Amino acid sequence: MITNKQHGPKIVIVGSELAGLLVARELAERFRDNILIVEKDNYLGGALVTRSEGDITYDVGAHEISGQIPQKTIDYLEMLLKEDLLRRPKRPKMCFQGDFINFPPDAVHLLRTFSKKEMVQLGKTFVKKTLWSDSGEPANFKEAMIRKVGEELYELIYKGYAEKLWSADPALMSKEAGEQEEFSLFIASLKKNLFGKEEMFLYPKNGIGSIVKEIEGKLNFYDVGVLKGARIEKVESQGKRISRIKIVDSQGNATETEVLLLIDTVSLDELYRAVLCAEPEVPIIEWRDSRIVVVHFQGNVMREGEAYYFPQKEIIFNRISEIKRYSPSLNALLRGELLTIEIPCRKGGAVWNMADDALLEACLDGLEKSKFASSRPKVVRFLTWKQEKTHPLYTQGWKKQFSLLYNRLDDFQNLFIIGHKALFKEEKIDACVSQARELSEIILKDKWLDKRLWKQRVEGYLKTL
Ligand SMILES: Cc1cc2nc3c(=O)[nH]c(=O)nc-3n(C[C@H](O)[C@H](O)[C@H](O)COP(=O)(O)OP(=O)(O)OC[C@H]3O[C@@H](n4cnc5c(N)ncnc54)[C@H](O)[C@@H]3O)c2cc1C
């Protein structure tokens, strides 16, 4: 049994987004300053932060919590927040054939936007798909999507969108890429829009960052150690146990500490280099990155609904949202509107390196070209930033690459891997809450000593891919 000694080997948590912070919170009362969080940025919370600058408030990354999550996760989030968890109708829209229709598209809206000829084509696809089911595994993303939505819709919507999101040929992507949020909802949405109830999403009244603020308060109360602007540089092991780590901060100051448990929430290639002091022997798993532009417009630009998707390749962004639609308490006195514009890109590519002013111009062009805005809207001010590794890029062969890295690291009996980046999976807020709570429970009950229980849990998290 581990005791709560005040000094000695530490539980080191790498990464301070939701998964890492929640484990620290759950363990804080028992382990106090025997916990050490190591975060590369100079603030906690990663993409789960809400910032206020002057009279504007905006989220830096994550926007909303799905309403379709277990009640116990909702109860837990409500317990964490000292404010209301708002329930709001989910009404995203998509730019399509010069119109704005429900996203994911439903049959009624799609049919309205197609010509007679296109409708005959779609009808044929539908009959074919209903009468003949495809057998065998699809070989790649393109095949998987054609099976789901038919050739016509794939060509019309999904092909260009995939090329825009990944800067890659969809036939070279693996079938799992089709399970990602942007692509997977079509069939479910069709059924839901025809027969189901309206979907809701959840959002904390004062911004998504309220979750992190509450956790930080608790970590301070229990004196949990936090190193910001720091990274693990080197790891020592004894047999199958990690025994000691060296952490270096942005000024180059080094700290060494003995390790009881290492909990990783950061990408496995980074961990691999630190733990095994070597480059992985397989090609590195790949990521899609993003640039975000927050624009304060003088007048009203946003249409109805909280978010709009743009699958067209010629439009630089893929999603636009307006924060007041998430919580009317935010920016309530602001004149005009604050739009968050998300731009998919690859680190080091043309869009990633584009100057801020040029990026804003490209966004304004997109608003006009898509007819989202009837004329060029007037900008009061804008902010832009870059976000790395926002989405896993499931190229062909990714599973083998990921498994090799994962299994090599998972061999260490006191190393536990959770979260969005570490599991190379689009884990949303609710999934990170569940994983962090399950791991904390195993640690608090001293069941981590036999790793088999944890391995079973991870198999469960990964089996949806
Ligand atoms: C732009 C964006 C929008 C999103 N929108 C939504 C949404 O609307 N709804 C939703 O449910 N989810 C959304 N998500 C996902 C959600 O934010 C995360 O999946 C979830 O909160 C992940 O938490 P995580 O703990 O796995 O952290 P991760 O996102 O994996 O972050 C890991 C943390 O580790 C830090 N780190 C990275 N490398 C190192 C290193 N070498 N050393 C130390 N620290 C390091 C990072 O700075 C970060 O704080 C979004 C994510 C992004 C990026």
- Out of 420, 435, 439, give the residue to mutate to test ligand 1, the one with the largest number of ligand atoms within 8 Å of its CB: 420
- Taking Cα atoms as reference points, which of 419, 456, 429, 420 lies closest to residue 73? 429
Residue 130: the pLDDT is 59
Pairing of strands 35-38, 10-14: parallel
401-416 residue pLDDT tens: 999 999 999 999 999 9
141-149 and 186-195 are packed helices; what angle lies between their axes, rounded to 10 degrees? 20
Residues of the chain with CATH 1.10.3110: 104-195
Ligand 1 pocket member 420 (CB < 6 A): yes
d(CA 110, CA 297): 31
Residue 15: the pLDDT is 97
Ligand 1 pocket member 387 (CB < 6 A): yes
Measured between alpha carbons, how far is residue 99 from residues 105, 181, 192, 337 in Å? Answer: 12, 22, 21, 22
Distance 17 CA to ligand 1 centre (A): 5
- Out of 59, 63, 265, give the residue to mutate to test ligand 1, the one with the largest number of ligand atoms within 8 Å of its CB: 265
- Out of 51, 255, 421, give the residue to mutate to test ligand 1, the one with the largest number of ligand atoms within 8 Å of its CB: 421
Question: Is the separation of the CB atoms in 104 and 185 below 8 Å?
Answer: yes
d(CA 273, CA 284): 11
Distance 48 CA to ligand 1 centre (A): 7
- Within its chain, how far is the Cα of 22 from the centroid? 16
Architecture in CATH of 104-195: Orthogonal Bundle (1.10)
Ligand 1 pocket member 38 (CB < 6 A): yes
**3-state DSSP call for residue 99?**
strand
| Nearest-atom index, ligand 1, CA of 45 | 49
Residue 267: the pLDDT is 94
Place of tokens 């198999």: 459
Distance 47 CA to ligand 1 centre (A): 5
Q: Is this model's pTM higher than 0.85 or not? A: yes
Class of CATH domain 10-48+209-282+395-462: alpha beta
Ligand 1 pocket member 265 (CB < 6 A): yes
The b/e string for 138-165 (b: 16+ C-beta within 10 A; e otherwise) is: bebbbbbbbbbbbbbbbebbbbebbebb
Residues of the chain with CATH 3.50.50.60: 10-48+209-282+395-462
40-69 residue pLDDT tens: 999 999 999 999 999 999 999 998 999 999
